[in-house]
Amino acid sequence: MILYVDVLDACNLRCRTCVRGLRGLKNSARQMPLDKFEHIVAKAVSDGFDSIQLFNWTEPFLLDNLHEYASIVRRYGFPCICSSNLSIKHIGNFREALASIDALTVSVSGLDQEVYEVNHAGGSIELVKRNLSIIADLKRAGAIATCVQLKFIRFDYNRDQESRLRDYAMSLGLEFAVTEGSGHPVTGDPRQFTEEHVWAQLRCFDAGRFIEHRGEVCAQVFDNVSLDVAGDVFLCCARPNYGVFRVGPYLELSMSEILITRHSHPMCPSCGFQRREATALEKQALREAFDQSLVCTDPKMQRHIPSATGAS
């Protein structure tokens, strides 16, 4: 199980297929205090997480002290994983951060600037290449052991860039992966990333789980938990950190409370995210969570579930 944590509240790019890039989630100067982050990591140990990933809707390398967060993760025995656009002119304590990061994914959508910037708006592929070159030199020198993957986000307009990017990654001794783009930076409708669009979906709420068959669960609910810079749990890593998706403070919630609130959220029944067969442990966890919610007198168990009819 993965715990995604945004330890800051900003991204430098304006990617046209990302809610942060389109500023549905606005940038701010907020940063999670280190002591609070350590409390979160300590709780993650007892909650049974397998890894902590320092990203979701933000760019972690904008923090000059990213290495301090990564060091906390590793001190508690977790592998530390990051994802970045690496289109950054100056990265403070870059080597120190990399030395504390076990795996890093660098996302690009082209090797030529005119192709790259279609989706990665405001970014510079030359800055990405410069930072990747630094990483490759550090790896060759044995200064870092970070597993680095160059991930190509593929759309219909940039497919010709794939083979060149693969060759480029190989020349640097980096791993290479391809993922299909979600949405489209040119023809996509940016209104789908707004909170108003979310409320429009909720007004059409139907409690019938027509996508989820008996014995199935959503991987997003059982495989990961995502936190924003304030340490609040949100519905899942695939949904923006909008108020309607807020579950509550991670440090104040049990895993049963998190599970039942997310599973019962009115967005989930109509979400098209792929389901899978539930394991015996997952079925047991869900039964126990429902049982606790039925007998618990603490209103905390109920207070975070939004009403689809409460939209204004």
pLDDT digits (tens, 9 = 90+) for 219-257: 788 889 999 999 999 998 888 888 888 999 999 999 999
Burial label, 263 (beta-carbon count in 10 A; 0-12, 13-18, 19+): middle
| 218 bridge partner residues | 275
Q: Does domain 1-189 have CATH number 1.10.940.10?
A: no
Confidence label for 209 from pLDDT (cuts 50, 70 and 90): low
Q: Which two tokens stand for residue 136?
A: 């490759």
| DSSP string over 153-203 | EE-TTSGGGHHHHHHHHHHHT-EEEEEEPSS-TTTS-GGGGSHHHHHHHHT
The structure tokens listed for 69 are 């967060």
pLDDT score recorded for residue 303 = 47
Q: Taking a C-beta distance cutoff of 8 angstroms, is the pair 290, 260 a contact? A: yes
Instruction: Tell me: pLDDT of 299 over 80.
Output: no
Model confidence at 214, pLDDT cuts 50, 70, 90, reads confident
Percentage, residues of the chain above pLDDT 90:
65
Pairwise CA distance, residues 3 & 179, whole Å: 22
Range scoring the smallest mean pLDDT among 59-68, 77-86, 154-163, 257-266: 257-266
Average pLDDT over residues 137-148: 96
In angstroms, the first-to-last Cα distance of the chain is 35
Tell me the average pLDDT across 184-201: 82
**Picking from 64-68, 107-111, 292-296, which range would have the lowest pLDDT averaged per residue?**
292-296
> Cβ neighbours of residue 31 under 8 Å, at least 6 residues apart?
7, 8, 9, 63, 229
pLDDT band at 118 (very low <50, low <70, confident <90, very high): very high
Give CA–CA dist 41/80, Å, rounded.
11
Can you tell me the mean pLDDT for 15-39?
A: 95
Cβ neighbours around 101 below 10 Å, total: 28
Which of 64-68, 208-212, 236-240 has the least mean pLDDT? Answer: 208-212
Q: Give the pLDDT score at 7.
A: 97
Please report, for the chain, the start and end positions of each structural domain, with discontinuous segments joined by +: 1-189, 194-312
The structure tokens 């030359």 sit at 126
Buried b / exposed e over 9-44, threshold 16 CB at 10 Å, is bbbbbebbbbbbbbebbeeeeebbeeeebbebbebb
Q: Provide the pLDDT for residue 29.
A: 96
Task: Please determine, for residue 165, whether its predicted confidence score (pLDDT) is greater than 60.
Answer: yes
Phi, psi of 105 (to 5 degrees): -105, 130
Whether 91 shows a pLDDT value over 50: the answer reads: yes
